Copies of this chain bind each other. A is one copy, B any other.
Amino acid sequence: MESLRPKISRSVIPRLSVYCRALVAYKDSGVISSDKLSELTGRTAAQIRRDIAYFGQFGTPGKGYVVEELKKRILEILGINRIWDVALVGAGNLGAALLSYKGFKEQGFNIAAAFDNDRNKIGKKLRNVPIRHIKELSRVVKNKKIQMAIIAVPAEEAQKVIDTLLKNGVRAILNFAPIRPAGGASTEIINIDLSIELEKLAHFLNRPK
């Protein structure tokens, strides 16, 4: 298995996601050139060849890559040649939006359980996923062996939720709460802070020309 999962620089991963998406959408199976892939993804052909060369000899010089092989290889490397169960904590507006987000299911991410502390929500279903009481979080995550979670709770509750998740086997978290949570060395937490993104835009509009 080692050879299927070479250590790849973190900066390459988002680009592999983009190539993968283009390959999945590419109906004309057979062979694809780096020029064609460049046209579909907006990355330069040189960059694409360099990124793909990372994981060994691949493709036929002058012709291109066999679409199915390349797709399979990238899916393996990204770890999305399987279904990942995901716990969603927080079923408010943002949580509901994430539950409805088609892209997750398409890419192999299955929201297996949702949690909230609002009595009006608990017991109801959202997009066919039952919403459970936050008290059940430890038990369900452990029983279902869930390793990945999405946090969409208010800032003041986020660190406690993250601590509970990490204690029960979750190792990868997508966090929308506007805090910089403390994790651990064997944990990956990606923070998406929407206000900070808007502030970057404000700074762009405001800067001297």
- State the A residues within 8 Å of B (CB): 2, 5, 7-8, 10, 13-14, 17-18, 21, 41-42, 77-80, 84, 86, 92-94, 96-98, 100-101, 103-104, 106-109, 147-148, 171-174, 178, 180, 182, 188, 190, 192-208
Contact = CB atoms under 8 A, between A and B. Distances in A.
A201 B180 contact: no
A151 to B, nearest CB: 12
A207 B171 contact: no
A183 B192 CA distance: 23
Nearest to A186: B209
B203 A78 contact: yes
Contacts of A80: 199, 202
Contacts of A103: 178, 194-195
